[in-house]
Structures are given as C-alpha cells and as structure tokens.
Amino acid sequence: MLPRFYPRKNRSFRQAINYVLREQVNHGFVIAHNLDGNSPEEWLLAFQKNENERRKQSERKNAVRLRHIVLPWSSKDEVTSEAMEDMTRQFMNLYNPHAVYLAVAHEPDQDHEHPHVHIIAGGTDKFGRAMHLTNKDLLELKQKAEAYQREHYPEYVHSQIEHGKNDRSRSKSRDYWPKKRDDSYKEKLQDLLEKSLDKANSEKEFLEILGSIGLTPYYRKGKASGVIFQNRKYRFSSLGITREMIMALEQERNFLERI
C-alpha cells in the first residue's frame, strides 16, 4: 500500500465528497469517522463545522483545509473488502484517531482495475489541531501502516512497499497505476488541472486559470471539454477531471454564500 496525499487549501468539501461518491464507480464500504450524519449533505455540514472551529483559532490564509488521501492495492492481489476496510481504519487511527474522515472504497470492475480507497480528511481534528505532518512523521505513518499490512495480510505480496527515500522505485508502481506512452504529459497535465481546480471558485475562474498558465480550453456543444497541450487535445475526463467536479465548484460557492 502506497498512500498518496493531495492537500487542498480551499474548502472544496462538496467537490471532494461528490468525487469519491460518483455514481459510475463500483463502490465498496463507506466509513464516516467522527462525522455526524448519514448523507453527503450532512457530511458536508460536518466538515464545514469542523473547519469553522479551526478558523476561530487561526485565520492563516494558506492553511490546508482538507486532505484527499488515496490508499491503493495491486490488482495482482485478491484484496477483500473486509481487509481493505480494516487497513483503512488502521491507517486513519495511526494518522489521527480524533480527525474527521470520510473513506470510500472503489472496488475493481470492468472500468476500474485496481482496488483503492479514497479518504477525505479535514484540515484539523476535533480539537482544532492541524493535521500537518512533517516528512519524518509522514514516513513513520507509512511505515507503521505497511507493518500492519505485512503482519495481518502477508499474502498481499504485490501490494507490499519498502517505504523510504525510493518508495516509488522500490514498489512495482506499474501494478498500481499502469503506464501509457503519453503518461509523462498526462501526469503533468493532471497535476496542473488539479491545482487549478483547487484554486477556482467557479467554472469560469477555472478556465481563466488554465488560460493564464498556457493551457487553452476547447469546447464541444458549448461546454468546455478539455485542454490543448503540445498541439494535442486532452479531455478533462481522461485527466481525472469530471464534469461533476467542475460543476461542484458552483455548488460549493453557492453553499458557502448561504452559510
């Protein structure tokens, strides 16, 4: 298991919740840890309430408002839903048992080969303490999570990682995220688009940010469908940006204006 961390500095809770619960994905379990409610709207309010408690203590502009964490396992291991849930709960407990989390499992199907879990973590725990980890603490967290997997699920040999300076080179990362010929471009683009989406509060602003960094949006049937890069068109959907994620920017802004 090689955890991936994506910190976000805007309060894109609705966007994150919609993304992990998107309908076209084969869902497994859902864990709402320290979150009140049983629906996406109630979870959204709980995340917002938790964030507001921190903002009363600190108005730091560049604070991380949420963390999107992905826990993947190799498709070569027949990882059960029960094992994934157990390792997910253990990971969250190791990170911070007092944090607010929403964890959603995406199980393999014809369109999604690799089992993985998305975790949305609030920017602070229930006591208002920041969820920031130093590089040393982050490495220790990964090592402890890996040690738990090795002890309790040693049969998942293809998902084992030697955490350290060369995490990616020591892991068989191609088993997690298969490479294609144009992956180097697509990875750069995906990173740029995710950062731009995090900064934006509307679709218009998202497209303006893309234009400012040299990415020209192209349109189909009047809707922005992707960007032009190196004289080639890349669809947003092929870069992990769905129409629902873009539309959620407007929903998030309208929600924040009402509270």
For the stretch 92-125, pLDDT in tens is 999 999 999 999 999 887 666 788 999 999 988 9
pLDDT band at 179 (very low <50, low <70, confident <90, very high): very low
User: What does the domain layout of the chain look like in residue ranges?
Assistant: 4-176, 183-258
First to last CA, the chain: 39
**Residue pLDDT, tens place only, 6-34:** 888 777 788 889 888 988 788 999 999 99
Check residues 237 and 258 and name the one with the higher pLDDT: 237
| pLDDT score recorded for residue 94 | 96
Lowest mean pLDDT segment, chosen from 14-23, 52-61, 191-200, 222-231? 52-61
Burial class (CB in 10 A: 0-12, 13-18, 19+), 70: middle
Mean pLDDT of 50-63: 67
H or E element, residue 122: strand 116-125
Q: Is the pLDDT of residue 224 over 50?
A: yes
Q: Per-residue confidence at 150, pLDDT binned at 50, 70, 90? A: very high
If you average pLDDT over residues 163-186, what whole number do you get? Answer: 49
Answer yes or no: CATH 3.30.930 is held by domain 4-176: yes
For residue 43, count other CB atoms closer than 10 A to its CB.
Answer: 22
